[in-house]
Amino acid sequence: MKQATIRNLHRDLGYFYIGLIISFAFSGILMNHRESWHAEKYTIETKKVEVKLPSKDKINDEYAETLGKQLGIDDKMRRNKVDEDQFKISFEKHDVEIDMKTGKGEIVSYIKTPIISQMMKLHKNTSNWWIYYSDIFGVSLITIAITGAIMIPVGKFTFKRRGWKLALAGLLVPLLILLFV
């Protein structure tokens, strides 16, 4: 391939995908920290509750939905989980956590963070058309990386003289993390 063709392909794919690259990078950073900070939503109200819970083996989806309605929650239930200490119910706009022993807990009401929640949705989307578009995006990112590596044909900063060392170092970091973490 001619040098000008490589440079043009690199440039045009970069321009075409710049918005998606920034969106994926930004929402990916936010998703990396979703356990400590929920960027996708923010709390608008926290309400204390106290209920009498049945035994652990009697708690199921039907019970969780009924309890949600009794607590004044009218949005769709997503899931519920019971462990030794906590009963958790996740709704579209509410989270409920109740202590299994005391029956004391809280309802957290939240709304989606504009723009950020939509960007984060890109990472979670599994519709067929989005999967194919994401595959094309992935191939384009590989193309951008390869054309960027071979774009500079001569000099001390070429891939052959210097770039391969940096590329190898960049590849080793995730491999080491996968092996040792």
pLDDT digits (tens, 9 = 90+) for 56-82: 889 999 999 999 999 999 999 999 999
For residue 76, give both structure tokens. 């769709």
Whether residue 163 contacts residue 148, with contact meaning beta carbons closer than 8 Å, is answered with no
The CA distances from residue 62 to 22, 68, 75, in Å, are 42, 10, 14
Q: What is the value of pTM for the model shown?
A: 0.57
pLDDT at 42: 80
Token pair of 72, please? Answer: 């004044």
Q: Is 137 exposed, middle or buried (0-12, 13-18, 19+ CB in 10 A)?
A: middle
At residue 176, the pLDDT reads 92
Residue 51's pLDDT is what?
Answer: 94
Element holding 105 (H helix, E strand): strand 104-112
Rg of the chain, C-alpha, whole Å = 24
pLDDT at position 20 is 83
pLDDT of residue 91: 95
DSSP-derived secondary structure letter, 152: -
Q: Which two tokens stand for residue 49?
A: 């509750």
Query: Which residues share a beta bridge with 39?
Result: none
Asked if 75 contacts 93 with a C-beta cutoff of 8 angstroms, the reply is yes
Cβ-contact 87, 100 below 8 angstroms: yes
Cβ-based neighbour number of residue 107 at 10 Å: 20
**Can you tell me the distance from the alpha carbon of 181 to that of 175, in angstroms, rounded to the nearest whole number?**
10
Distance, in Å, from the CA atom of 161 to the CA atom of 17, rounded to the nearest integer, reads 29
- Residue ranges in the chain whose pLDDT is less than 70: 123
